[in-house]
Structure 1
Amino acid sequence: MADLHHSRRDFLRGKAALSEAAGAIESAVDAVLGDPTPAARLAGGQSPETARAAWRVLTLTRRAMACDFALRLCVSRDQNDTAAGMAAMDLVERLEDQLTIYRDQSELIALNRRAAEDWVEVEPRLFALLETCDRLHRDTEGAFDPTGGPLSRVWGFHRREGRLPSPSEIDAARGLVGWNHVRLDPVRRAVRFELPGLEINVNSIGKGYALDRAGELLAGRGVTDWMMHGGRSTLLGRGRNLVAGINGWLAGIPNPVDPSQRLDVLTLEDQALSTSGAGTQFFEHEGRRYGHVIDPRTGQPAEGLWSASVVAPTAAEADALSTAAYVLGVEGTRRLCRRRPGATALMVGIDDGDARIVRVGG
């Protein structure tokens, strides 16, 4: 019979751990709605009681990009207009149609099929996203690489069924990876692959990009005070939390050893936060744990941290940089933050059963 007696640390290695950890971001925001912290700066000098009497939070949700997106709008007590919020959610769905690699009609699929044979012109905003990927690839020393899909497949994480590949399998997959083989023509907004079999997958930046685009739409319609997240792991806050009477939105970094506690609470003032880790997708072989975040430079799963969180001006940056920070570790992330002075990273590790957080940059 299997041993049913597991320690708390063993329990936290599984799916429930990241579920609780991700939920801590959301619960930190929930707590603020009714109980703003004294450290938070008050919006307009109003008291929390006055704020709660005048405003309420309207929440809209939508399933997209294999996760739940949620938009929280601060509205007056008598306001029920959701047109702008619904339009933002519709935009997220359209972006999924463009960027997914799981639907044959997507523009990204078409690009991957043709770019090794000839230059392919793409939609202007998609080209801008690929230019962002190019800059982030350089700044992260190659730790962020949107061509790393073959490595996820060879390790079995593409289907969420982890396996231990042979060295030859890893070498073969690495031979199909490398953003340095992607060429961008800014005049024509065209893309060309120098390596047959190369493909672009924007999973590690797509949610953040969708949040940024939704934010542009909301701003264009005069909506200023809101928070939106994609799958709880990437969060974008704009304006003020009027219900709590504070400038910005609070988000917590959970303690993986004791998810009822937070290692830190951040105030996002027109900023984004994203967290990356391997708490839900991993497998164990001969006592070693292999997580789903693969270092594209080595073909091996990244290890050494429980999670890496990054605060940045945009959600796309935060999304991509949190993945890179998890791969790079503390010292590599110090170099990254020197190149990106607008970013702050919070690295969480577990040492002798205790969670520890290291703040880098900022």
Structure 2
Amino acid sequence: MTATCTWRIWGLEASLTVTDPHRLGEARSIVDTIVADVDRACSRSRPDAELYGRSIRRGRPTRISPALCTLVDAALDAARASDGAVDPTVGRALVSLGRNRHLATESGRPEQAAHADGTLHVGPADHTVIRRHGDMLVVPEGITLDLDATAKAVAADLAADVIADEIGCGVMVDLGGDIAARGETPVGGWQVTIDDGPDEPRTQIALQGDCAVATSSTLHPRWRHRGRSMHHIIDPATGLPAEERWRTVTVVAGRCVDANTVSTACIVKGAAGADWVAATGLPARLVAADRSIIGCNGWPAPDRLAA
């Protein structure tokens, strides 16, 4: 028997399922605490987030909280694992494209210039300029970090870990499509629906054991800037939204942050993404711009998917 609760977080749907219904409230409190820690540490929707404090934005060595240490480390690990395709130093590019202008740094780099359409030219992202030693972080002045590519997945992993360890029941945490499962698996597996909207291709899979699944998408969130439609997955090499070769990419891995890194990197890598994902060995489902679907590394064929 399982019990589930649902709510909204960061403008997205969230859910929590446990195999011991009597512990659902306790498990929800754990999720809420971890989510609040992540929000205070790095949410780009709040200017008072720790990551955007005056000292960090001015390039000074700054002592940071354990929560932010964990999140920065995960972002830098993702950058290295993806050959720079998932890079946390794209924050200024997002600002230049009309996303979260309150995160603009106090002084821009002198080499920045405006394009003919009025958008700022932002140099290629480079995660190697970020320094973290112990509890000290150094972000060069003019660089704006954005940890959204990995923070939600890290939160899902942490919440599932803590619930499984402290409560001892099976758990599946879903934070806006970043899903982590730990502990006892219910009969039939953890049922997960892959769905980006009522008119999009959808499917359902069953997860077993300690595992995770993440979906990255160019479909949402979107916004308009200077008459152009933008999506949030930035190509670090250009500072612009990645080419829309893929509508959605879903990956299964042991940890949600790893699945999310691979799914996001695939979108950034464009046409080369399919071969790159295949080389990781992780099961994945890629939905192309024409809605054709590619499954790789054992992703089940439609007739073998869970009902």
Question: With structure 1 as the length reference, what TM-score do the two structures score?
Answer: 0.67
Q: Which runs of 5+ in 1 are unaligned?
A: 1-54, 160-164
Partner of residue 217, structure 2:
277
Shift of 1:239: 3.5
Q: Deviations over 1:190-240 (max 9, x none)?
A: 2212x3221212111111111111112202223331211112x21112234
Distance in 1, matches of 2:27 and 2:221, equals 35
Instruction: State the secondary structure of the residue aligned to 1:279.
Output: coil
Shift of 1:129: 2.9
Matches of residues 1-362 of structure 1 in structure 2 within 5 Å?
A: 55=1, 57-75=2-20, 79=22, 82-110=25-53, 113-114=55-56, 116-158=58-100, 166=115, 172-174=121-123, 177-185=125-133, 188-193=134-139, 195-231=140-176, 233-242=177-186, 245-246=187-188, 248-254=189-195, 259=200, 262-263=202-203, 265-282=205-222, 290-302=230-242, 303-335=244-276, 338=279, 340-341=280-281, 343-351=282-290, 355-361=291-297
Q: Which moved more, 1:134-143 or 1:325-334?
A: 325-334
- Which amino acid counterpart does residue 332 of structure 1 have in structure 2? G
Distance in 2, matches of 1:333 and 1:126, equals 32
Instruction: State the secondary structure of the residue aligned to 2:88.
Output: coil
Aligned partners of 2:13 and 2:175 also within 8 Å: yes
User: For the structure 1 residues 86 and 125, does the alpha-carbon distance in structure 2 shift closer, same or farther, using more than 3 Å as the test?
Assistant: closer
Question: With structure 2 as the length reference, what TM-score do the two structures score?
Answer: 0.78
- Which amino acid counterpart does residue 224 of structure 1 have in structure 2? C
Instruction: Give percent identity, aligned residues only.
Output: 24
- Which amino acid counterpart does residue 347 of structure 1 have in structure 2? L
Distance in 2, matches of 1:361 and 1:292, equals 27
User: For the structure 1 residues 58 and 263, does the alpha-carbon distance in structure 2 shift closer, same or farther, using more than 3 Å as the test?
Assistant: closer
Q: Which runs of 5+ in 2 are unaligned?
A: 102-113, 299-307
Q: Deviations over 1:241-264 (max 9, x none)?
A: 53xx22x313233487954x6356
Shift of 1:349: 0.9
User: For the structure 1 residues 168 and 174, does the alpha-carbon distance in structure 2 shift closer, same or farther, using more than 3 Å as the test?
Assistant: farther
- Which amino acid counterpart does residue 230 of structure 1 have in structure 2? L
Instruction: State the secondary structure of the residue aligned to 2:122.
Output: helix
Aligned partners of 1:65 and 1:207 also within 8 Å: no
Distance in 1, matches of 2:224 and 2:198, equals 19
Q: Higher relative contact order by CA 8 Å / sep ≥ 6: 1 or 2?
A: 1
Instruction: State the secondary structure of the residue aligned to 1:297.
Output: coil
Rg larger in structure: 1
User: For the structure 1 residues 288 and 120, does the alpha-carbon distance in structure 2 shift closer, same or farther, using more than 3 Å as the test?
Assistant: closer
- Which amino acid counterpart does residue 35 of structure 2 have in structure 1? V
- Which amino acid counterpart does residue 268 of structure 2 have in structure 1? V
Distance in 1, matches of 2:86 and 2:254, equals 18
Instruction: State the secondary structure of the residue aligned to 1:82.
Output: helix
Instruction: State the secondary structure of the residue aligned to 2:121.
Output: helix
User: For the structure 1 residues 296 and 268, does the alpha-carbon distance in structure 2 shift closer, same or farther, using more than 3 Å as the test?
Assistant: farther
Distance in 2, matches of 1:288 and 1:305, equals 19
User: For the structure 1 residues 336 and 255, does the alpha-carbon distance in structure 2 shift closer, same or farther, using more than 3 Å as the test?
Assistant: closer
Partner of residue 13, structure 1:
none
User: For the structure 1 residues 263 and 240, does the alpha-carbon distance in structure 2 shift closer, same or farther, using more than 3 Å as the test?
Assistant: same
> What is the aligned length?
285
